[in-house]
Amino acid sequence: MAKLDTQLLELGLRDLIYALILMADLLVIVYMVFFERRHPSYVIPWVLIIVFLPVLGFILYMAFGFNYFKEKQFRLKSDEDRDLLHRFLEQQGQIIDRGGREEGAATALPRVLLRGGSSPVLMAGRVRAFNDGTEKFAALFEAIERAEDHIHMEYYILRDDRLGRELVDLLARKAEEGVEVRLLLDGTGNHVPKKGFERFDRAGGRMAIFFKPLVPFLTLRFNYHDHRKIAVIDGRTGFVGGFNIGIEYLGEGPMGDWRDYAAEMDGEAVKALQARFVLDWNYATGEGLGIGDARYFPPVDGTGSVPVQVVSSGPDSHRTPIKDEYLKLLGMARRYVYIQTPYFIPDESIMDALRIASLSGVDVRIMFPDRPDHPLVYWASLSFVGQLLPWGVRAFTFDDGFVHAKTAFVDDAISSIGSANWDIRSFRLNFETNGVIYDSGTTRRNRELFERDLERCTEVTLEKYRARRLTVRAMEGIARLFAPVL
């Protein structure tokens, strides 16, 4: 009898737990549908996951789907963004007017990014693009060595390896020389232990974590990462792109040769990168660095000749400037659009824009890695690529290593180089920054480098794609279901 009572008690406890899980799932679904009011393409997959996987679906939603971000947390950032726009607006209007006469239809993109993303057009005297880690880090370290007043760095990943330790040591040495050093890192991307910053701390260097969890080492938040890669030295030299700090970005990791992109610039354009860093640093630390402070925004000799817009987006805004940038680039293209991205999970608007561009006679090419670092993301990317092949879009897998670049090159006129992948996560869930460069010489060189890399690629033709194995089709189907949350 006692055994029967125990079994009934256990059964009742299981039923109670299951009922609580179902109640929690129901509350999550009600919250998504009636309170978050997100797009159906985002809500429906989550509802299906929660319905068919009640326990796992709830855990996944709390980790990847729940909106931990609160608008009031970013009120300071929003206010300072508007202040930045007002400070640059007068100069911006002059540049847009001149650009409209000189660049023709290309003036449309600057207007979109100014009005939709508070991104002024500023002039660089020189822009240098890198698609090789050795060259990029040599230029970055050289610029840091020359620093006389301050160094501002904002990166998603800092590895505890040879390159990461070399950077921290260099920053510590510059701090010892009296240079003001600030290092802003994402909470999950910093792999250097506290001990590794001892010399840096003693020298007066400052390190901060963006969007730090309330309880250290305990967080369910997998979204809202600071995915930006920015460096500003003395307010006169700036870097933006896709390279994090680690030896794999030199091609020394398990993925082999590493194809990535970054741009170095000087002139007025650096002010936009500096402003982006200051806004993020102020949010993370509350220090209150001033937008327009002469120390961090020094006057620039000459006007420069290369128009640049620094475009940022993130969950702190209902706007999507980087997605708008990509959409407008596809709509403006007349001859070609060359895209590099490690993760290709676009939404319907991007898919339609790619299809329409190709049908219009534009040569649309997408390069993505043959060696996936995240298998589910790779299968989803392959699925979206396959959907575009019948419309004439051409796709290529980079076979000699890993493509981590996030770029778009258009008509020998415009280059986009930054941190934003062509995926929903970069459009809405992470904090990203791109540099849009309006320069024929820079874009022509980037196109030539892209075409050179095509020699190391295999084209994914429609015939090959249709002949893929049943197991590949199955993996694509599963991955596609999770696409909005990957």
Tens digit of pLDDT for each residue in 320-339? 999 999 999 999 999 999 99
Choose from 86-100, 305-319, 394-408 the range with maximum mean pLDDT. Answer: 394-408
404 is known as an active-site residue: yes
Does the residue 169 lie in any domain? yes
- Both 352 and 457 in one domain: the answer is yes
- Both 44 and 193 in one domain: the answer is no
Q: How confident is the model at residue 71 (pLDDT cuts 50, 70, 90)?
A: very low
Residue 154: CB partners within 8 Å, gap ≥ 6?
A: 184, 185, 210, 226, 228, 229, 230, 231, 276, 277, 280, 281
Instruction: Write down the pTM of the prediction.
Output: 0.85
pLDDT at 307 over 60: yes
- Both 281 and 386 in one domain: the answer is no
- Both 365 and 453 in one domain: the answer is yes
Q: What is the pLDDT of residue 105?
A: 47
Q: What is the pLDDT of residue 72?
A: 46
- Both 13 and 80 in one domain: the answer is no
- Both 289 and 328 in one domain: the answer is no
Catalytic pick from 136, 404, 423, 453? Answer: 404
- Both 287 and 138 in one domain: the answer is yes
pLDDT at 356 over 60: yes
Nearest-angstrom CA–CA distance, 17 and 78: 43
Q: What φ, ψ does residue 341 adopt, rounded to 5°?
A: -160, 140
Tens digit of pLDDT for each residue in 143-198? 999 999 999 999 999 999 999 999 999 999 999 999 999 999 998 888 899 999 99
Does the residue 310 lie in any domain? no
Q: What is the pLDDT of residue 454?
A: 96
Q: What is the pLDDT of residue 290?
A: 83
Does the residue 107 lie in any domain? no
Does the residue 446 lie in any domain? yes
Last residue of one domain, picked from the residues 277, 305, 333: 305
Q: How confident is the model at residue 58 (pLDDT cuts 50, 70, 90)?
A: confident
406 is known as an active-site residue: yes
Tens digit of pLDDT for each residue in 87-132? 554 444 444 544 433 444 457 899 999 888 788 899 999 999 999 9
- Give mean pLDDT, residues 302-317: 88
Last residue of one domain, picked from the residues 280, 305, 330: 305
225 is known as an active-site residue: no
Number of structural domains found in the chain: 3
Q: How confident is the model at residue 20 (pLDDT cuts 50, 70, 90)?
A: confident
CB 267 within 8 A of CB 126: yes
Tens digit of pLDDT for each residue in 25-46? 677 777 766 666 566 666 767 7
Does the residue 102 lie in any domain? no
- Both 331 and 478 in one domain: the answer is yes
Catalytic pick from 186, 280, 324, 411? Answer: 411
Q: Mean pLDDT of all residues in the chain?
A: 84
- Both 256 and 337 in one domain: the answer is no
Q: How confident is the model at residue 220 (pLDDT cuts 50, 70, 90)?
A: very low
Does the residue 311 lie in any domain? no
- Both 282 and 345 in one domain: the answer is no
Does the residue 387 lie in any domain? yes
Nearest-angstrom CA–CA distance, 155 and 432: 11
- Give mean pLDDT, residues 1-27: 64
Last residue of one domain, picked from the residues 305, 337, 358: 305
Residue numbers of the domain that contains 176: 72-96+124-305
70 is known as an active-site residue: no
- Both 92 and 144 in one domain: the answer is yes
- CATH (domain of 352): 3.30.870.10
Does the residue 20 lie in any domain? yes
Q: What is the pLDDT of residue 106?
A: 56
Per-residue buried b or exposed e for 347-367, using 16+ beta carbons within 10 Å of the residue's own CB: beebeebbbebbeeebebbbb
Q: What is the pLDDT of residue 486?
A: 66
Tokens of 434: 């791109």
- Both 86 and 162 in one domain: the answer is yes
